[in-house]
Structure 1
């Protein structure tokens, strides 16, 4: 039981770290995103604005 609980906790931590990294890369200027080979995020997309509003707020 504790082994599966530990794996579940590790999976949550991994997902959190991954989403934090993606947010950091998406917040870079588009020129830098192009230089490192990251797909440029569309800043004019209404869905992206909504998700940035909901997920980018201070906790």
Structure 2
């Protein structure tokens, strides 16, 4: 496996994670009644990483 293949896989993994988090943020920003209608949990589960970020930076990203 070449270095460029490894970098490509790493880049693809980062893009996938970013897109996933972006989708989750969009779903969580919907009103609770819409979340319930589409089957999304109305109250998002506690995310330890988000809690740490909010403690360190004052706001969640």
TM-score class, shorter-chain normalisation, is 0.7 to 0.9
State the distance in 1 between where 2:22 and 2:38 align. Answer: 18
Task: Count residues with an aligned counterpart.
Answer: 49
List gaps (5 residues or longer) in structure 1: none
Aligned counterpart, 1:19? 21
Please identify runs of 4+ aligned residues in structure 1 that moved more than 3 A.
none
1:36 shift after superposition: 0.3
| Structure exhibiting the larger radius of gyration computed from Cα positions | 2
1:21 shift after superposition: 0.3
Kindly report the root-mean-square deviation, in angstroms, between the aligned alpha carbons of the 2 structures: 2.0
List gaps (5 residues or longer) in structure 2: none
Q: What's the TM-score, normalizing by structure 2?
A: 0.70
